[in-house]
Chain A
């Protein structure tokens, strides 16, 4: 148990569906992250939030829309995804977005787009 909880753990969605991934952290951290891990590829950073403000967006397509309503919750809204978007989506949090603050990850949401 890392203190970062992601729901759902598994999700299958059609290309025309709209769904949301949820992340909650109970660590009192101020920074939250979305990462994507495709099959046999390294983790890729998607978005970073610091104190509920988006501070990084790594050229992610607009069909992925993040939302951070408060410092404990992070969402990733999905719409009109493609099969190549199937991946493990990981949420992480840290005290602050700085090099000496370790990040803790959730268990991820395994997304399959059909």
Chain B
């Protein structure tokens, strides 16, 4: 399984875009990039995932570089309720069934 590297913490002002980076330089061609978030003591919440192309849904956008070695999760208009730990996960056939959550990025959205 490819490992991911994320900054341990980030701040964002309410109403601004939050751009969360993730490095996955050892990703292989059949591995997907997933993003989840976890608000304190709650279950992880699925946000978005992609293989090669950029993806967008009602929650966020996922931008994957052409070489697939890094990606960025974009929350277009952050709110206080977006304060959470965000996990970037690479998942492929070699990971078996697990989503391997690392330490993630703790995002603090401030008023």
**A residues touching B (Cβ–Cβ < 8 Å)?**
2, 4, 6, 31, 33, 42-43, 45, 48, 55-56, 58, 88, 90, 92, 97, 99-100, 102-108, 110
Contacts and interface: CB of A to CB of B under 8 A. Distances in A.
B98 A110 contact: no
A11 B25 CA distance: 41
Give the secondary structure class of B's interface.
Answer: loop
Given A42-B103, A43-B101, A99-B32, A56 B96 contact: yes
Interface residues of B, number: 24
A105 B92 CA distance: 19
Nearest to B43: A105
Contacts of A48: 97-98
Q: What 3 A-B pairs come out closest when comparing CB atoms?
A: A105-B43, A45-B98, A48-B97
A96 to B, nearest CB: 10
Interface string B78-111: 0000000000000111011111111100000000
B102 A42 contact: yes
Interface of B: 30-32, 34, 41-46, 49, 51, 91-93, 95-103
Contacts of A97: 97
A110 B41 CA distance: 8
Contacts of B31: 99
Nearest to B92: A99
Contact of B30 (A56, A90, A99, A104): A99
Nearest to A108: B43
B102 A55 contact: no
B96 A43 contact: no
Nearest to A56: B97
